[in-house]
Every structure is written in C-alpha cells, then in structure tokens.
Amino acid sequence: MKKVKVGVAGYGVIGQRLADGVALQGDMELVGVADVAPTLSVRALKERGMPYDLYTALPEKRKDLADAGIPVSGTLEDLVQKVDIMLDATSAGVGARNKELYATYDKKAIFQGGEKNSVADVFFHGYANYEKGLGAQFLKLTSCNTTGLIRAVDCIDRKVGVEKVAITIIRRVADPGDYHRGLTNALQIEHAPSHQALDLMTIMPHVDATGILVHTPVTHGHIITIVMTTKQELSTEEALAYFGEHPRIRIVSLAEGFLGNASLFRYARDLGNPRGDMYEIALWSDSVVKSGKDLMFAINIPQEAVVIPENMDAIRAAMQMQTDRIEATSLTNKYLGIGKWKEHA
Amino acid sequence: MKKVKVGVAGYGVIGQRLADGVALQGDMELVGVADVAPTLSVRALKERGMPYDLYTALPEKRKDLADAGIPVSGTLEDLVQKVDIMLDATSAGVGARNKELYATYDKKAIFQGGEKNSVADVFFHGYANYEKGLGAQFLKLTSCNTTGLIRAVDCIDRKVGVEKVAITIIRRVADPGDYHRGLTNALQIEHAPSHQALDLMTIMPHVDATGILVHTPVTHGHIITIVMTTKQELSTEEALAYFGEHPRIRIVSLAEGFLGNASLFRYARDLGNPRGDMYEIALWSDSVVKSGKDLMFAINIPQEAVVIPENMDAIRAAMQMQTDRIEATSLTNKYLGIGKWKEHA
Amino acid sequence: MKKVKVGVAGYGVIGQRLADGVALQGDMELVGVADVAPTLSVRALKERGMPYDLYTALPEKRKDLADAGIPVSGTLEDLVQKVDIMLDATSAGVGARNKELYATYDKKAIFQGGEKNSVADVFFHGYANYEKGLGAQFLKLTSCNTTGLIRAVDCIDRKVGVEKVAITIIRRVADPGDYHRGLTNALQIEHAPSHQALDLMTIMPHVDATGILVHTPVTHGHIITIVMTTKQELSTEEALAYFGEHPRIRIVSLAEGFLGNASLFRYARDLGNPRGDMYEIALWSDSVVKSGKDLMFAINIPQEAVVIPENMDAIRAAMQMQTDRIEATSLTNKYLGIGKWKEHA
Amino acid sequence: MKKVKVGVAGYGVIGQRLADGVALQGDMELVGVADVAPTLSVRALKERGMPYDLYTALPEKRKDLADAGIPVSGTLEDLVQKVDIMLDATSAGVGARNKELYATYDKKAIFQGGEKNSVADVFFHGYANYEKGLGAQFLKLTSCNTTGLIRAVDCIDRKVGVEKVAITIIRRVADPGDYHRGLTNALQIEHAPSHQALDLMTIMPHVDATGILVHTPVTHGHIITIVMTTKQELSTEEALAYFGEHPRIRIVSLAEGFLGNASLFRYARDLGNPRGDMYEIALWSDSVVKSGKDLMFAINIPQEAVVIPENMDAIRAAMQMQTDRIEATSLTNKYLGIGKWKEHA
C-alpha cells in the first residue's frame, strides 16, 4: 500500500510531536517539517543530525537558518507540493493564512485548536465524530483540554448517554521551557463558560456543557474535574470499568504513587517515552464519586502530547484510509504504542 | 456592660488574627495570647512594643523567650484563669490536650478546624447554625475553605433551598512565609470526597455534598468552584442578587481588575487592611453560569483571615451575648468593619 | 515652617507607597495623586474614602473613572500647578513625557529607576551622593535593587573603602498581584554585566562593579550576594558591626527564623506595617564570610518599598530642606519610623 | 575483554540514570538494580518489560512488589554477590549500612553525594582527581552542584591556576515529580559557607572556596555564579576558549534561545535524550565578565543526570580499567555520547 505523504508546518511544541507521531505510523510517510527561525527545537533537530528535512516557511529569513548552520531543503511551498496532507501547527492565526497555500495546491490540511473554527470544514475528534471527517479537505482539531475531556465524556456517552457536564479546568499556564508566558504565585480565573465547554458542545451537540477555567502556575498537565449527569444512572464501579476499557484513558491511583500532574510527567520520563510525553489522559480512581445521581471525577491532560493521536486519526479520516472509527483509532493506537501498557499491567 | 474576657492560645497565622479581631470587638477584652517559642510572630509582637500580653504555653521553654528578650506575663494556665473563654489556635492535636486545662477551670473554649470534631460539643458556623452554639462549652469552627463555602451555600439555601453541591477546591498549598511545607511546579490531588464536603454536611445535614480537592503552588487564597442544585430554580441574576446581600460575600469582576486570588490580596493590601487581610470571601460575577437547572460559580477564600468573623460569632454564641443569629453576626461585622465597603461601592 | 507641597504621578505599586511616605513626613504635604484608570489601587483608594485627592493624567479617560464612581479633583496639569515638586512613578517612558509638563510650570521632579538616565540632571541616592541632589530640578532615583545594594556598599565604603564588587542578583520576577508578567518553574538569566552594577558605578564611580542577574519565580523580595574587595581588609565581625549601625539595614539571622525573602514579608505583615511593607534591606549575619581577603554576604531587597526613603531624601535635597546628608536621611528615617525597631531589639 | 559487572542499589532519580549509564558502557555489564518498594520508577520498569532485573533490598517487603506485579530476581545480597562493583544511590544514610554488606563480600562500591565522607576511602571527581580513585574499594562522588562546579574550576585550574572562588548557588529545590519537598513563592538561604564550597576544597585543596546557597522554587537545574581569582589573568575570550574545549561543558547563549535552566531542559527533551536528561553543564557565553582581574561567569547544573559520567569514571578508576584520566573520561564520554553534539555544532 502506498503510504500517505504528510508535511508538518510549525516545528514547535505540537509540531515536533506531530512529526514524531507521523514518523511512527506504518502507513504514513513524513516528508518534512517547516519553520521560520533557528529556534531551540530547530537547533535540536540539527544536533540530532536532521532526521527530518526542514523547509523554511519564510524564505526571506532563510539566512537566519543558514547562519545557525541549519540545512534547509526548500520552502514551505515546496513542501506542500510534495505531500498529500499538511498538519498545521503554526501559531494561532498563521494557519488561516497558510490555508490559502494549501488550497492553491488542492491539498488537505489539519489545523490545531488555536485556529478559529471557520478555518475548517469540520471540527474533529477521533473518537467522538470520526465519520464527519471522512474525506474532508480542512479539519480542525480540538485543543488539548477539549480533546482529553471529550475522550472521557464520549466514553460514557456511548455507554449510558450523557445529558450535561459542568467542568472545572485547573490549567497549567505554560509548557516546560516557556519564557514568553507565565504566572507567579497566582491563580487566574477566566470568564465563564470556558471555551472548552463550548467546544465540547460543537463536537457533541446533544450534551449541555459549561465550565470554569482557572490558570495555575505549573507546567506539567491540566487537571479537570467533571460533574456529569448521565441518562442512565451509573455506579462509580461501572464508570471505572467503562473508563478502563478506553485505550486512551489510563486509570491511576494515589496508592500507586500518582499524586498529581507531576507524577504523571515523572512516570512518562521513567517509561523512557521521548520527551517524557504521554498520549493518554489519566483518570484517578480515587476521584470518582457520586453527587446525588450525578458522577464526579478528575482527569489529567498531558497538554503537549495529548492531541497527537487524534491528529493521526484526522489524517486517516481526511485521507479516507479507514472508514470505521474503531479501525482507524486502533491503528493509530497500535503505531503510537498506546494501550501496550495494559498488557503489562 | 461588662466585656467578655478572651484569651488566645497559639500566636501563629490564625492566632494573631484572632487576637486582632477580639481587640476590635467593642464588647470583648483581649486578656492575652499564649505561645511556646520566640517565633517570628512573637518577635514582631515584641518589636511592636507588646500591645498584647504574652503567656507561655510551655513554662519549661520560658528561657528561650527570655533569651530573645520577649517579656512573658505568665503561663497559659495563668491566662486561662483570667478569661471567660479561650480561642484555641494551636497546632492540630494540641487543642485536644489544652481542653483538659480549660475544663479544669471550667472555662469555655473554641477550637479551630484542624482539631478533631470530637474535641467539641458543637461544630459551628456563625451564619449556618448559630443557634446550636448558644451556651455550649466547647465549640469547633469549620476550616477556612468550609467556612467560606458555607457562607455561599447557606446564603442560597435560606432563599430557595439547596439540595446538593459538587465542589472543586483549588487550594493554596502554603501561607506566605511558610517554609515547612510547599509544592513546586506540581498540582496534587487528594482522595475524594474532600473533607470540606463532609464537613459541610455535618453543619448542613440536609444538603448532599461531595468534592475534589487539588493543591496548587500558590499562597494567596483558595478558589472553589461550586455546582449547586437548588430546590427552586434560580437565574444567574437572582443568585448574584442574593450573594450581593450577604455581608461577608464580596462580588467582584474581571472588568474591575480582579483576575484571581492574587488580585484580592493586592487589593486588601492597598486597602490598608492589617497584614493585607480580608474577612470576606469574593465571588466572581463573571463565573456565575447555569448548568441545566443547576448553578455554577467560583469563590475566593482568603485562608488566613476568613475564619476570624465566625470565631467572633462563636464567642457571642458560647457566651450567649446575643441569642439572635443576625444580631450576633451583625455586631461582629460592625466591629470588624465588614460591609463598610458597600457604602462606598 | 511651611510644608513642601508634593504631588505623585502614577498610583501603582511605587506611587501608592510614595504617597503614603510623603503623608508621613511632618514637613511635607501630599497635595494629591494622579492616575489614568480605575485600577485596583485607585478603587481601593475610593473604598478607603479618598484619603488622597485623585487627579486624572489623561483627561479624555476621565469618564472611565467617573463610571467606576471615583471622584476626580482635576487634571495632572492642575496638580502640577499646586505643588512644589512632583514624584513621578508612572510607567517607564511616561515620565520623560511628563517632564515637559513639569518644566512648563518650572516645577522640580523626581523620576524612578525605570526612566532613562537622560531624563534627569542627577542620578541620586540618599546616602551615597545626597550632596549632588541639592537644588537640582530633575533627579532620578536608582531602581530597587541598586538602591538597596548601594546602602550596603556605601556603608562599607565610608568605613574602609571599597575597590570592587561582583554581585549576583536573585531577582523576584513579579510583585504580588501581578498578572501581566511572570515566570513558571524557570530561572532566567540576563546578559552580564547587569544594569544594577553599571548603575552603581554611575553613583559610585570609584568602585569597579559587575554582576549577573537571574530572575526567579517569586514575588517577595530580591536576594543579592555580594563579593566585595575592600581597600582595608575587614573581618566578618567588623563588617557586621558597620552594617549594624546603618539605619536602613536590618541584621537578621536564620536562628531567629528569617529563612528567606518570604520570612521578611511575613515579619513585616506581622509588624502591622501597611501593606506588609519594609523600608530596610535585610542582611543575614549567617551569610557573611571571607573569600580570601574579600568579603561575601547576602542581602534582601523588599522591592515594593525599599526606594521610598531615598525618594523622601531626594525631595529634601532638591528642595534644599536640609543640606547635610545625615540630617536629611535621619529626618526621613524618623518620619517613616525606620530604626525604631532597634530600640526594642 | 571481560566486562566489569555492575549493580545499582536504589532505583530512584539517580539510580535509574546510573543503570542506564552503565548499560551504555561497552565495557561494563549491568547485572541488576535493587529497590525496596513498588515506586513509580519501579512500576515504570515493569511497564517497560523489565529491561533490568530487579532485586529487593528489603526481603520482608517482597510481598509489596509481588502485589504490584513486579517480578523480583532475588535480594540485594544476591545481587552483590554477582557483581564486581556496586553503585549505591540509596537515600542518604542507607549507603553507610549497605557498605557492611559490600565489605562482607569484598566488593567495591561507589557512594553518592548524600552520604557522609567517612563512608568512603576517597572523595572522587573524574576530571579533578581520577588518579586518587585508582584501585580504591570505596569511593564517594561529589554531589550534583559540586560535580558540575568542579568541572569548570578544574578546567581553568589546569590552564592558568585557580587561587580562589566565591560561588552563589541558585538551587532548584525539588526534582520534577517530587511531592515530598518543595517551596512555594519563597527563596530560602542557608548558612554560609555552603557545603559545595567546602567539598570543592576537599577535592581541590589548593583552591580557597566559599559560597552562599539560595533555594528557589524551580525543578529544572541549578544556576551557579562563580567569581574566580586565577593565578594568571585571563581574558573572557581565553576563558571561553578553555571552557569550549571541555567535553562536559556546553557553551550556550541567550541569542540561541537558552534563556535559563528551563531552556536547557526543553532542549534536552527536544534532542530526544531519555528523560530529557543532559550530562553536560551549560555555561552562558553572555555571562562571562571581568571583575577587576577576576573572572565571573554562570553555569547550569542539570541536577538529575550531571553526576552520571563521573560515576562511570569512578567505576573505571576503582576497577583500574584505565589508569589515565583522559583515557578514562574519554571512554565514558564516548559511550554516553557526550561531545557528539560538537561535531554537529
């Protein structure tokens, strides 16, 4: 079978991981990545010996890359012509401009959560609405929090139906290494309802969602608490059993030593995962309680890597590599090694 | 009228503020405070010229205080004999031992949230169950989070009835100046349901409460989100109107510049409040949303000072200074200057 | 004696404290303060009942203040006409523009460390070069770190002579309540030599100074380590004795409980100082060591309030209220209550 | 050639990295690792499929490991008998007890910086005193800060001689994932001189060293500033040239994007280094300045991995695998891939 050719625009926190994710898919080929400047990530690519070809998104800045000794294989426009589909992980707003280039060459593209919904034909989630993405030219993925949140909500929704959710997002304010944003000794609240709740309703319009978001001065993962009203009442044991079946949800406990978001980052590093990344959300078994007939629980969102699997799913949908949701997500999981841990557990 | 004589055991974060609070009550007299060592707070008391007499809780350590030049007026036992009622703000567990001393001299005492419930005859909250404290010998106050939370829940409960609440506590992990505890770049989750939810049900047994607590590495105030099911449905406007009437709840907004817990601390400092303290909880008008028929909103708990008013209420109840809940809390508020801001607002 | 009339432009972190400081000086009169918007600090001024008259720096934005219910007494131009001297604590760069207004009305003005040196006739420090400020029209104060640092260096320089200093500034990255800047789990280094070393040499040109600055994610005070080469060798005991004589240096120790910058903030709050402010720098007796013939030690800079005394000194110099350095700084100290603690110690 | 058989006691932050380091050495064989409980790191080992055999250090707790499904290959005593040398990375104090076991079986052992010096015959650093370790039975390594610091001091000392250093250690207070220690919004100072300065003098007795240590609430690397008096004066360019030749020192700059300790962690993750580790210290070219005839500069210490190379050197010395310092350290570097980046740079 001919491999699907993929390019990545924007080699930052998400772009690097998308490139690595594509490189792991046995039925895809990573043609190259594009960026504009000799950032630390681009310098690291060079120190690694250029495992991926680099294209320049701003030809007029090619000299900066050359001055830093970074080999450049061409322009973003060159890259676009060589691929079947682009994953656009550029800064918010840039993707909308790049879209014109993708359209010029009649290529498909997948945009990330930072872009406006209007950039895409379909707002996509691998598990929740895979079918909608089939054959679409332009897809937009949900942001990291929404992606992880929908995994958990969709998981229960498919079992017993979900009527409404009220979420509290305890958000990491920056990624490790960020110097352009940060909070010091402060919690910051945002206007409610949070966009994640609204985004969830775009993907799952039959669910009523609202929520409050609070930024916290940490870097290793968001924690979300969810108060969920189900159509059919659910015991905590039943809920845990359903969550446990989901390949992209990892059940953890305080007793094992998972005390918070930093434990999960530590664990992923100790697992030897590249960059200490984790694709699965974690769900604390200790957090699952009943609130009357409702269910309440807490999940952890590893913000840097959580969207990678759903992006792979999106390629599968857009390129119609698989028409079945389970077949597609299972292939993504297999190539990314998701769920492998369950065999050892 | 003869003033009620009050002593404070433990001159730490809470003890100092209790002493200041009592000193402001026109119908109470602060006889003295007790502590065991020349802590920074005790050294500050001395640098201020000993506005409060200091008694030593551990006579065998009196030399440490003397060596630091701290004048000592006697022992804790001496202090107990001089007062009508003791406010015990010692470290968790010490209060239970001090209770024997208080009982020996047949004195009343009020314990803080860190002690076990069994130490007291009544688990008390000024607004929610004032009547239960009337004439009791030993009362225990709710902890800072529970105290602030109950203000908001009781406020709505008295208007339209509250059936259940599901809370998410985004907890500050240490107070400013704490070096004996702390978190660095980590969120920490605890076993659910949180004790605050259980404590709420002890005070308000007709409400079903559960919750999840997450520690965050900040020092200036907890933020709690609350999903509340009321007996009678409530609009966000009605809810805000009810909250706005409560003397110990301050309605704030992002537009005014209250972006989070640190803004409230900044504001209290700019107000000239001693230590930058605030007695009121804050409630963000921007956070009040509907979740189906339920209400969701967020409050801020200034952990160092929030329990002071309810402690003053507790003295009033235990000493039967006022029999009416509103009369008692109003007097406390008047002496502490709570609600004064509303005249200017 | 006729009091010197003072106005303050910019009612932010520094401006508020300048206003409070002037209000405490028995021989000065605070005419009013100016700002542009209903910030939290301005709202707090209103809640306090407008102890200071507020003037608007941007008349076109007067409506914003009115909408927030803030009474306005006139424009910045009105204020300037009423005063003898302005303290300009506006955002960096604004002072240079305001200078034209001050010049128009032939008024003196004192600018803060954020302005360019060119804004002023004299770069000023109360202890190190008081005489240079006598009668000057436009003075610029050193920034918070440099102000505190020069206190310590000048103290020793006047005793035994200082040849050179190499400083390491461990800088707090934001003030309590700041949401517009911050670092999360990161240290940030700046290009050496740091501007504080260069500024020190402008004030004390006979000293060779260099240094490295590292930002840290905390809010309560900078810590500076200083490696100092003196002309005449000094024992640690002699150094401590000299530092101990300086009214604006507070000797502290780990044994007393001063474990770091947060202990000092806690102590200042417990002292009842408005906003928990401290005017003195602290110097750890435990930190004073010899490096060969050089001296090494660490000081704490309470960044929000440390420059207030030197600003009062600057008014005294510019207005020629006192011609003698010691007489002037002693009066400032007396009115601000600096050194009072030494009597109790 | 027969490979040297190595065991690792303590599979925590350091122990894991020691095991990985030994596994990379072509002339060593990792026989196994020992630990006492199903920690997160041990659970990760299992999820990885037990690439290393695990031995139990406390046979009575073997059941805890079994309950967690962790296969156990024997006891620590079994492991000791199978190896030529043990790397002991247990908690401080445990190593001293383990030493008896190692002595019983007449095995060599290397202890980490947390143990008392008395545990070992030689206090060791691969570059500074390799020869002293030759054939020794018990060696103790310097701690992370001292190890990195000595690299830089020894580097210059061998070129022009170092007379004295005055260091300021801006220390990360916890590792990523630590929940048992932490600081929140506080800098913490320790009694001077810091133990790192004293330790340096034990290894390099001809250098006069002192220093001040300040803990900061971050997790990714210490920053140390060094004021260095050399025997022969050195320009900043010469110093940079010497540092640049050292295989375990990486010269970085702000212009490249290395803004602080978090940039280096980010870079190491992007390099694909396991756990985002880095063996080299970094030295900012922007930080190198002159202080009179002295040199001042700043280095970054990646606390989790920096001691691994010197531990490998220690095995080489103790087992007399190489008698020459350069030959030994070069082999360590080759197997760990240190210096490889210079070819790409």
Mean pLDDT of all residues in D87-99: 94
- Put simply, the answer to whether B219 touches D184 (Cβ < 8 Å) is yes
Quick check: A291 and B188 CB within 8 A?
Answer: no
The pLDDT of D223-252, averaged and rounded, is 98
Which band of pLDDT confidence, cut at 50, 70 and 90, is reported for residue D341?
low
CB contact under 8 A, A184 and C178: yes
Q: Do D296 and C212 touch (CB under 8 A)?
A: yes
The pLDDT assigned to C342 comes to 62
Q: Is B144 a catalytic residue?
A: yes
CATH class of the domain defined by C4-142+307-344: alpha beta
Contact assessment for residue A216 and residue B218, using Cβ atoms and an 8 Å cutoff? yes
Q: What is the pLDDT of residues A197-214, one digit of tens each?
A: 999 999 999 999 999 999
Contact D40 A269 (CB under 8 A): no
What are the pLDDT digits (tens) for C181-191? Answer: 999 999 999 99
CB D20, CB D43: distance < 8 Å: no
A206: Cβ contacts below 8 Å, ≥ 6 apart: none
| CA neighbor of B221 nearest in space, from A188, D30, D216 | A188
Q: Helix B236-245 and helix B144-160: axis angle, to 10°?
A: 120
Q: Is B292 left (phi over 0), alpha (psi -120 to 50) or beta?
A: left
CB C180: neighbour CB atoms within 10 A? 6
Q: Is residue A343 pLDDT above 60, yes or no?
A: no
Nearest Cα neighbor of D4 from D107, D129, D127 is D107
Mean pLDDT for D18-32 is 98
Strand ranges inside B108-200, DSSP E: 108-111, 122-124, 138-141, 162-172, 188-189
Dump pLDDT digits (tens) for B269-288. 999 999 999 999 999 999 99
Tell which residue, C156, C183, A299, C300, has the closest CA to residue D218: C183
State yes or no: pLDDT of C327 exceeds 70: yes
Q: Which helix (H) or strand (E) holds D9?
A: strand D4-9
User: Mean pLDDT of all residues in chain C?
Assistant: 96
Of residues C59 and A99, more confidence is placed in: A99
Instruction: Judge whether residue D345 has pLDDT over 60.
Output: no
- Mean pLDDT on C55-76: 94
Touching A (3+ Cβ pairs <8 A), the chains are B, C, D
Between helix B308-318 and helix B325-336 the angle, nearest 10°, is 130
Angstrom distance (rounded) from CA C323 to CA D13: 62
How large is the average pLDDT for residues A9-30? Answer: 98
CATH code for the domain defined by B144-301: 3.30.360.10
Closest chain D CA to residue C182: D185
pLDDT attached to residue B341: 64
Q: How confident is the model at residue D339 (pLDDT cuts 50, 70, 90)?
A: confident
- State how far the Cα of A271 lies from the Cα of C317, in Å rounded to an integer: 66
The total number of residues written for chain D in this structure: 345
SS3 D121: coil
Within a 10 A sphere around the Cβ of D121, how many other Cβ atoms? 15
Residues D248, D336: contact at Cβ < 8 Å?
A: no
Nearest CA in chain C to B269: C275
List chain D residues with CB under 8 Å of A267.
Answer: 40, 43-44, 177
What H or E segment, with its residue span, contains residue B266? Answer: helix B261-270
Q: Could you tell me which chain B residue has the CA closest to the CA of C44?
A: B271
Question: Is A145's pLDDT higher than 80?
Answer: yes
Q: What is the distance between the alpha carbons of residues D60 and D76, in angstroms, rounded to a whole number? A: 12
Q: Do D270 and A178 touch (CB under 8 A)?
A: no
Round to the nearest angstrom and report the end-to-end CA distance of chain D: 34
Cα gap C243→C282, rounded to integer Å: 10
> What is the Rg, in whole angstroms, of the alpha carbon atoms belonging to chain A?
20
pLDDT digits (tens, 9 = 90+) for C165-205: 999 999 999 999 999 999 999 999 999 999 999 999 999 99
List the single residue in B164, B217, B260 with the smallest CB-CB distance to A292.
B164
C298 and D185 within 8 Å at the Cβ level: the answer is: no
Contacts of C61 (CB under 8 A, 6+ apart): C36, C37
* pLDDT, mean over chain B: 96
Are D292 and C164 within 8 A, CB to CB? yes
B179–D contact, CB cutoff 8 A: yes
Choosing from C6, C144, C173, C338, the catalytic residue is C144
pLDDT on residue C345: 45
CA nearest to A166 within chain B:
B291
pLDDT the model gives residue A70: 96
Where does CATH 3.30.360.10 sit in chain B? 144-301
Q: Which of B183, B185, B214 to mutate to test the interface with D (most CBs of D within 10 A)?
A: B185
pLDDT of D342 reads 63
Domain with CATH 3.40.50.720 in chain D: 4-142+307-344
Residue C275 has pLDDT above 60, yes or no: yes
- Residue D195 makes CB contacts below 8 A (sequence gap 6+) with D143
Mean pLDDT over C1-9 rounds to 94
Determine the pLDDT at residue B194. Answer: 97
DSSP state of C158: H
What percent of chain D is modeled with pLDDT above 90? Answer: 95
Can you tell me which residue has the tokens 């104060």?
C141
| Bridge partners (DSSP) listed for residue A284 | A252
Report the C-alpha gap between A132 and A139 in whole angstroms: 10
What is the rounded distance in angstroms from the CA atom of residue A210 to the CA atom of residue A256? 32
**Positive or negative, the Cα torsion across A338, A341, A342, A343?**
positive
Name every chain A residue with its beta carbon within 8 A of the beta carbon of C177. 186
In chain B, residues with a C-beta closer than 8 Å to the C-beta of A187 are: 170, 172, 216, 218, 221, 223, 260-262
Confidence label for A339 from pLDDT (cuts 50, 70 and 90)? confident
Dihedral Cα A210, B188, D64, D94, nearest 10 deg: 170
pLDDT mean over A26-44: 97
Cis peptide before D193 (omega within 30 of 0): yes
Residue D6 CA to residue C273 CA, distance in Å, equals: 60
Amino acid found at D114: G
- pLDDT above 70: residue A344: no
For A274, the closest of D44, D49, D272 (CB atoms) is D272
Average pLDDT across each block of 10 residues of chain B; the chain has 345 residues. List them in order.
94 98 98 97 96 94 94 97 98 93 98 92 97 98 97 98 98 97 98 97 98 98 98 98 97 98 98 96 98 98 98 98 98 93 53
Amino acid at C294: D
Compare CB distances from B39 to C41, C177, C257 and report the shortest one's residue. C257
Q: How far is B15 from chain D (nearest CA, A)?
A: 22
The pLDDT value given to residue A292: 97
- Give me the phi and psi of A255, to 5 degrees please: -60, -35
Catalytic residue among A144, A169, A173, A318: A144
CB distance from C260 to chain A under 8 Å? no
Closest CA to B260 of C146, A238, A48, A214: A214
Candidate list B128, B144, B200, B336, residue with the active-site label: B144
Q: What percent of chain D has pLDDT over 70?
A: 98
Q: What digits encode the pLDDT tens for the residues C223-243?
A: 999 999 999 999 999 999 999
pLDDT band at C3 (very low <50, low <70, confident <90, very high): very high
* D208-216 and D188-189 beta bridge pairing: antiparallel
**Element of type H or E holding A153:** helix A144-160
Q: Is the ipTM of this complex over 0.90?
A: yes
Strand partners, C298: C225
Residues A292-314 as b or e (16 or more Cβ within 10 Å = b): bebbbbbbbbbbbbbbbbbbbbb
pLDDT in tens, C130-152: 999 999 999 999 999 999 999 99
Gap from B259 CA to chain D (nearest CA, Å)? 19
